[in-house]
Structure 1
Amino acid sequence: MRRFECLGNGCEDTCCVGWRVDIDEETYKKYRRLRHPELSPLLERSVGRNRSNPSTGNYAKIRLKTDGTCPFLTEERLCRIQLSLGEEYLSDTCYTYPCIYNEVNGVIEKSATLSCPVAAKLALLNPEMMEFDEVEEPLYRPGIIKSRLNTADLRWANRPQRYFWELRVFAIDILQNRTFPLEDRLILLGMFCHKLKEYVDSGRVKDILSLIETYKRVVADGAIRESLSRMPAQPTIQMKLLKELADQRFPFVVKSARYLQCFAECLHGLQYTQEAKMEEIGERYAQAYTDYYRPFMDEHGYILENYLVNYVFNNMFPFDRKTVFDAYIMLVVHYALIKLILIGMSAFHKGLTLELVIKLTQSFSRTVEHNTAYLNRVLELLHENGYDTMAWMAVMIRN
């Protein structure tokens, strides 16, 4: 985050097209008071009150142009408001992007969404383990905090949130344990989250620290490696399930040309057509994994590790969903969908490059992670079909 710097119109993508932009109440009132010969009429036409469940954070919204472009984007792909008035006139949404701010026990946590190409490169391409620094810097806008948690609050006395820090640190430790393959780390984390849900459901919250210590010993002992290695890969079932989940995205209008191109390359690479037999597609999928995807990831496995750690940190995992196991399911869905598309892209390109992986991961984050309706639908689909089990999660993870 210390090295992050927006490239402006030099960026390979733009955050000013295709997204609804909420306007906070304070910024909206600034716009109403503004007397500017060029901007005031444009603000009057393009910023309207949010009449559906408004709050101080989404008090109003920008009306996008018919092509999904922000009306304040200039021909040079710069923000007209910032150019004319300065960044203090940006809404909280535009002012903070791509940064994400959470507050835990009174401490502000700053991270970034990887839908920004610059943030994606900085976060994913560092082969060293992702680290977390504590620094002092001013927080200019209190309203930009996404989530708050005080683990000492009495309402969490008998809830797992009381042990948020211990759970998060343990999750990140597992994901960064490079003595295990990444897919084994994900399965280990799932086994823990499944047991954690059992503890929560049965009222054994006070035993969570003991559970963490038990799993630490299991990981350190290493005896579980053999049982993990015996888990079978089911590429045809995996690919069919993940393709169904990926297809759920398209009823929600996709505006990212980069993501559409990546998805099309995946389908072409696997020769995925209506006429093709699923078994044949599954064989091509397995072959692409062996020939192209795995050799690349054997050398650059830190990329998806960094993705998962960043996800855990900025989503306040495992409390970003109704249950801790639902939170784990969504972590796996993100990982597995990225892997599916990369395997297909590797078949199309006869290999992978860092540029291709960044292109897919960034456009995936932009298209999928920012669409709450889609993610909720995916979780519903998994629940409805009984795919919300550890066995099915292993199928999605294991190749």
Structure 2
Amino acid sequence: MSQSNSIILVPAYMDQFQCIGSSCEDTCCTGWSVTIDRATYKKYKKVKDPALAKKLDTVVTRNKKSSTDNNYAIMTMTECKSCPMLSVENLCEIQLNVGEDYLSTTCASYPRVTNTVNRNYEMSANLSCPEAARLALLNPNPMEFFEIKLKKNQKHLFFSQLEPNNYTDNQIMSYFWDLRIFSIGLIQNRSYDITDRLLILGLFYQNLQDIVAAGNTTETPQLIENYRKLIQAGTLRQSLAQIPIEASAQIRLLKELIDVRIHSGAANSRYLNSFEAFLAGINYTDRDDIEAIASRYQHAHDMYYKPFMEKHFYILENYLVNQMYKNLFPFYGNSLSLMDNYVMLALHYSLIKMHLIGIAGFHKSDFNLNHILTLIQSLAKTIEHNPRYLQFAFDYLKKKEFTSIAGMAIFLKN
């Protein structure tokens, strides 16, 4: 897509973001593959610096099996999974020697995520970048969105494209903006606990899924209005308070995920450190029964996680809003239904919260913002690299028939 449209919609933090280079505590040049687009590959073939040209010729390999313009070649990573063009100062030798214009689209765009909605640009960031995570998550004010001028020659990796204007009123996609505004507004409604906001969102999407299945999609605006009134009146508070707390069910999922995590092997050291702290924080062992682990898990929640997060609830609120905006919620993934999109969002939240409860139990009164940022950033990097981990959790919930709102409540509430 051309850049004739010079305006782009972004969360406010994107206007502040810039790469901090060698100061970054978890460089994006390590831990995953780097694809090279066709235009950049051709540039590399014309590099005049003899030493750099020779090195590029050695480490850049054509992708001849499934080549596309964006995935035309690949950078061969080192044995320690680092980019071979990374200097000892953790700076890119390509950018140092021939300039930023020679970065591949992958490298120049990361951590930025670009989508188009009705052919208009939208940009946000993957929180696998530590600096992006800091800017996005640590603002105590609700996340705001602005239109800014697109930087000249900005490279984009396009992830999703929606054209709601192409749909009629009897197709749910035509209500994208109504659903987006309602959903983000609900998650930012601070008169409710963050978990309750997510539960109400689930109730709404379960009702919406039923409406769509019955062929009554035109009732969507009325459903939104009904929920707005319920939320404002506080009618749902009593029902939310009656949802049982079942820590043992969360631990069963965690035990399954622990086995996947141990055997999958694809994680960076920052996440593994957080994972070990999580295990230690609930004194996890294979020998203990579920109820014993659940008791320690709930104690860590009540004593250390809950008091801290009641003061810093905005972190998970900002995380959810960023996920919803970045993934064009609730229409992310062609194979996912509206309710599946909700379940995937709630699953991200649940995994973060469950990890943080154990980490809080490990650090106790020393639990702080850095522990939260490290977990969210490193888990994002691990999940982006290892979709099997998240897919396993999703499939587990499906298998156990927990993907209704009643089932998801078990994993959301403590």
Deviations 1:267-312 (A, max 9, x none): 0111101112221110000111000000001111011111100110
Report the equivalent of 1:190: 202
Query: 1:380 & 1:278 partners in 2: Cα distance?
Result: 21
Report the equivalent of 2:339: 325
The 1:394–1:52 alpha-carbon spacing in structure 2 relative to 1, beyond 3 Å, is farther
1:387 maps to 2:402? yes
The 1:3–1:142 alpha-carbon spacing in structure 2 relative to 1, beyond 3 Å, is closer
User: What amino acid maps onto 1:276 in structure 2?
Assistant: D
1:169 maps to 2:181? yes
Q: Which of 236, 244, 261 matches 2:248?
A: 236
Of the structure 1 ranges 23-32 and 138-147, higher mean CA displacement relative to structure 2 is found in 138-147
Deviations 1:217-258 (A, max 9, x none): 111111110110111100111122134235434443324101
Q: TM-score, normalised by structure 1?
A: 0.95
1:338 maps to 2:347? no
Query: 2:151 & 2:143 partners in 1: Cα distance?
Result: 23
Q: Would you say how many aligned residue pairs link Structure 1 and Structure 2?
A: 398
The 1:213–1:54 alpha-carbon spacing in structure 2 relative to 1, beyond 3 Å, is farther
Deviations 1:314-371 (A, max 9, x none): 1111111321111111111111111111110111111320111111111111111443
Query: 2:159 & 2:231 partners in 1: Cα distance?
Result: 33
The 1:370–1:197 alpha-carbon spacing in structure 2 relative to 1, beyond 3 Å, is farther
Q: Which of 10, 20, 24 matches 1:7?
A: 20
Query: 1:319 & 1:241 partners in 2: Cα distance?
Result: 26
User: What amino acid maps onto 2:396 in structure 1?
Assistant: L
What pairs with 1:243-392 in structure 2 (closer than 5 Å)?
Answer: 243-321=255-333, 322-351=336-365, 352-392=367-407
**What residue ranges of structure 1 are gaps of 5+ in the alignment?**
none
Query: 2:264 & 2:76 partners in 1: Cα distance?
Result: 18
Q: Which of 104, 111, 136 matches 2:117?
A: 104
Report the equivalent of 2:412: 397
Report the equivalent of 2:7: none
The answer to whether the 8 Å contact 2:266/2:385 transfers is no
Q: Which of 93, 102, 106 matches 2:106?
A: 93
Secondary structure at the counterpart of residue 109 of structure 1: strand
User: What amino acid maps onto 2:203 in structure 1?
Assistant: M
User: What amino acid maps onto 2:345 in structure 1?
Assistant: L
User: What amino acid maps onto 1:240 in structure 2?
Assistant: R
RMSD: 1.7
Secondary structure at the counterpart of residue 207 of structure 1: helix
Of the structure 1 ranges 337-346 and 97-106, higher mean CA displacement relative to structure 2 is found in 97-106
Of the structure 1 ranges 262-271 and 378-387, higher mean CA displacement relative to structure 2 is found in 378-387
Query: 1:239 & 1:361 partners in 2: Cα distance?
Result: 20
Query: 1:384 & 1:202 partners in 2: Cα distance?
Result: 25
**CA drift at 1:34:** 2.8
Query: 1:211 & 1:302 partners in 2: Cα distance?
Result: 27
The 1:305–1:268 alpha-carbon spacing in structure 2 relative to 1, beyond 3 Å, is same
Query: 2:235 & 2:376 partners in 1: Cα distance?
Result: 34
The answer to whether the 8 Å contact 1:242/1:396 transfers is no
Query: 1:248 & 1:264 partners in 2: Cα distance?
Result: 14
The answer to whether the 8 Å contact 2:208/2:220 transfers is yes
Q: Which of 8, 24, 29 matches 1:16?
A: 29
**What residue ranges of structure 2 are gaps of 5+ in the alignment?**
1-13
Query: 1:22 & 1:377 partners in 2: Cα distance?
Result: 26
Query: 1:249 & 1:158 partners in 2: Cα distance?
Result: 43
Query: 2:174 & 2:390 partners in 1: Cα distance?
Result: 27
The 1:153–1:134 alpha-carbon spacing in structure 2 relative to 1, beyond 3 Å, is same
**CA drift at 1:163:** 1.1
The answer to whether the 8 Å contact 1:112/1:119 transfers is yes
Query: 1:128 & 1:141 partners in 2: Cα distance?
Result: 29
